[in-house]
Each structure stands twice: as C-alpha cells, then as structure tokens.
Amino acid sequence: MPNHRLFALLALAALGGCTLIRTVRYGQPDARDMSMFPHRVMHAAETPFRFAKAERQRTDLDTVSVRDPRTGRLVPLAQHLADMRMLAFLVIRNDTILYERYANGHDSAKVSNSFSMAKSATSALVGIALARGEIRSLDDSVERYVPELRGHAFGPVTLRQLLGMRSGTAWSDARGNFLRQAFSTDARIFYTPDLHGLLRGVRREEPAGTRWRYKDTDAEVLGWVLTRATGRTVADYMEEHLWKPIGAEHDGSWILDHRGGQEKTSTGWNATARDFAKFGRLYLEGGRWNGRQVVPPAWVAASVGYDSTRAAPEVVTWWGMQHTLYWWHPMVPAQGDFYADGSLGQRIYVQPSTRTIIVQLANSNDQDFPFRRIAGALNGERWRYPRSIPGLVLQAYNAAGIDSARAVFHAATAEMAARPGSYAMWPQSLRAVAEQVAAQGHAADAEEVLRWCRERFPSEPSCTR
C-alpha cells in the first residue's frame, strides 16, 4: 500500500521549495552531524593553548546526585549523562581538566555544533567591532549597515534592540506537530539556503523595543551587520580577533546558508568541547587572554552581569533564566555565574567564584541545570535544589483549598526571604496557578492568587487578569 502521508509531505516540500525539502529530509538536527551544510573554516592557532589534565580524574563526580528533568528525582551524574544522550562533559577548574567524559561517538578532537551558543560568540564579535570603531554605535539602525533592509521590518531596528531580542518582528518556534515545525521560522532559519532573502521577508509584529522575545532572526541580522561593518566574513573576522587569540587547538567553522554565503550566526558555530571551554575561559578572565584584551572588559561585564532590577526571568525554569547580550544568568539565587545555551543541551557554564568552567554537549532537549551541584561537589559541598513555591501552593490548594494554599504561600515566602535560594517563585508560574484554580470554577480564589503575585511582583504584567 502506498504511503500517503509520505507522498503528502513530499508534495508539500515541493511546493515549499528548497528550505522545506531540507526540513523534511533532515528533520530534527543532530549536534554531531552538520555535513548537510557548507562551512567556512576558522583555522586553529599556530601556538594552541591546552588545559592541563589532572592525573587523577574526579571520577567521584559520577555519583553526585543531579536532578532528572523528566521526573524531578535525583539520579547519579553518570546515569544522567547517559539518559540525556551526552556527547561530551568537561569540568575545568583553575585551567585544569578534572573530569572529562565522551560518549556516542564523540572524543576530544570531534567537532560539534553549538546551536544557540553561537549567539554568545556573535555578541562577542559585536563587542569587538564596536571597540574597533567598525560599528559606530549600538543605537545605529540596521539599515545604516545593510541598506538592502531599508523599507523592510528589520531596517529601522537598532543593534541594541537586536542584542536585547526586542526587534518586534514576527517569529514562530518549532514546537508542535510536524506541519507547525516544518513551516516554523525556527526551521526556515536553520535550513534556508537564502538567509538574506528570508530576512528581507520577515514581517513586523509590534513596534521595536516593545518586549523581549527570543528569536534566531535577530542574531542572524547581527551577523549580516558584522559582515558589512567589518568588510570581512564572520568566520575570518572571528579567526583573527578571537579564535586564534584564545589558542584554539582545532579548526572551528561556521555553517553557511549556501556555498560562499552568509554564516548562520544564531546557530552555526562548530568546535570541539575543549575549544568551547576556552571561550568560557575568555569571559571568566574578563575578556583577557594571557595578558591580551580580546573582548572589551566593559562588554564582558555588561554581558555576564546580573540585573537585580528585573524580577522575572525571560525563560521560566526552576533556576530562572535571565538574558543579557546573548548570555544567560541563573537567578535562584543570583551568584555571578553565567552560561551560553544551545538547543539539545549545549552549554558553556562559568562560575567565577570558584574559577570553574563546565562544557556540556548533548543530543537531547530533555536537559536540566546540574552545574552548581557539580561545582559544589568539587568543594565537598552539597548544593540543594530550590523548591517551587507555586508548585507547593497548587498542591496545597488541590488538597485542602485556599486557606491551606495561603498558609503555604506565606510560610514559604518568609523562608525564602530568610534563606535565599531555598525556594523559587516567578510571576509567570503564579499566574499559571491562578489559571488552574480559575479553571476549577473558583474565580475568587484565583483572584487571591493573582493578588499575592501583584504584592510580590508589583510591576509584572503576568500578575494582572
């Protein structure tokens, strides 16, 4: 019997052109294999930097209990790495590799895709170009550098708005059924052979600067700006001003939309785990590398500094994800650590207080945040995961009603004030609790939950009806 679903998908792909054909053919990306794309190489440093490797590896970390994102239960790190389809996991402290694991065909010389960790590298290149005068100001419009975007949605957007993910342009992610994934902006950006044409076709959804909304297109426009501002390809510029200066041990590369085309600066950086770690070390050192200032110190400080005036995270997780200049900051509690983040579990985590760098390369979206737990274990400390106040409130409400929920809320928030980091609570999560209570037909109780939200987060729109 003919496969009618396959025929339908192939027909849709033919109608949708090359991008959709690629999406149907390759489907879910694999961090290990980007061979379907052309690349532009960044050559390794003539004198590479190499981390020392401890004679006795910290194999005791295999038994450290970390959170399983699927169940919330604690499991040994070794099991977690296997379950989450890890490719590489490196723990470095004081320039020494203390723990190094590879799996699923990976090794220390294997190049892997960064996915959205590429945005952090793109941010660094913007900072370098700004300091060198190739970019005049972050308040310049895109069309100043890319006149082809004049009259299009991205033309009047400023570089600052792109770095803040506030372009106001339309975007659709790849979550949902196959058709939604295939026609999403996510998939089109990843697989398009004509990046410039796609960016010219993006429509405006709201005024630029209105709100934060994560999207790859903002970073791709920055890549186009970099190429025009510097007169160099992104790969060539990064090779000279960042890749070789940090002593890259292996060739790296950037994925292109087509042969000889534009680097995909939202997702397209490829490197080994150890060379990714060197990028983390660069930011750990404030942008300096062995006495040379590679990235301006003010740019690094602005990238990795936590903003205490922002009460709500850009992305709601138990640790809270604050986003600044394409870097992420855990918020429960804020401790000065930061990380680059990419799909399928790519992470470069840096904890300056202990000079710890952790690189995680993986091939599964079921990921968590074990890094503080592991960094603590190196010191013999047991870092505790915070408890979710909204989760406890909903549990109490479902068990015994609003009086019980109220008592739990006030007790937990008091303890959170006394012991920062013991609990986590975000306005978006309290709003979700109110919605679940309202769905049970208890409008007055839902309004009380929203009132608690407004008392804790008075300026947050999530707390209004």
pLDDT tens figures, 75-116: 999 999 999 999 999 999 999 999 999 999 999 999 999 999
pLDDT digits (tens, 9 = 90+) for 184-193: 677 788 889 9
Question: For 61-75, what is the mean pLDDT?
Answer: 92
Q: Over 50: is that where the pLDDT of 14 sits? A: no
Per-residue tokens: 248: 């890259």
318 vs 107, more confident: 107
Instruction: Determine whether 201 is exposed, middle or buried from the number of CB atoms within 10 Å of its CB (0-12, 13-18, 19+).
Output: exposed
pLDDT computed for residue 11 by the predictor: 42
Instruction: Give pTM, 2 decimals.
Output: 0.89
Q: Are 351 and 337 in contact (CB under 8 A)?
A: yes
Q: Report which DSSP code applies to 239.
A: I
Q: Report which DSSP code applies to 169.
A: B
Instruction: Give the mean pLDDT of the chain.
Output: 91
**Closest alpha carbon to 242 in 105, 148, 342, 120:** 120
221 vs 461, more confident: 221
Q: Over 70: is that where the pLDDT of 9 sits? A: no
pLDDT computed for residue 12 by the predictor: 44
Distances (CA, A) of 2 to 5, 8, 21, 65, 408: 9, 11, 20, 50, 59
> Domain residue spans in the chain?
1-385, 387-463
Residue range 1-385, CATH number: 3.40.710.10
Q: Over 50: is that where the pLDDT of 13 sits? A: no
269-283, 319-333, 379-393: segment of lowest average pLDDT: 379-393
45-49, 233-237, 384-388: segment of lowest average pLDDT: 384-388
17 vs 300, more confident: 300
What percent of the chain shows pLDDT beyond 70?
A: 90
Q: Over 80: is that where the pLDDT of 331 sits? A: yes
pLDDT tier, 438 (very low <50, low <70, confident <90, very high otherwise):
very high
Cβ-based neighbours of 133, under 8 Å, separated by 6 or more:
none
Pairing status of strand 74-76 against strand 356-362: unpaired
pLDDT tier, 318 (very low <50, low <70, confident <90, very high otherwise):
confident
Residue carrying the six token digits 């470095």: 92
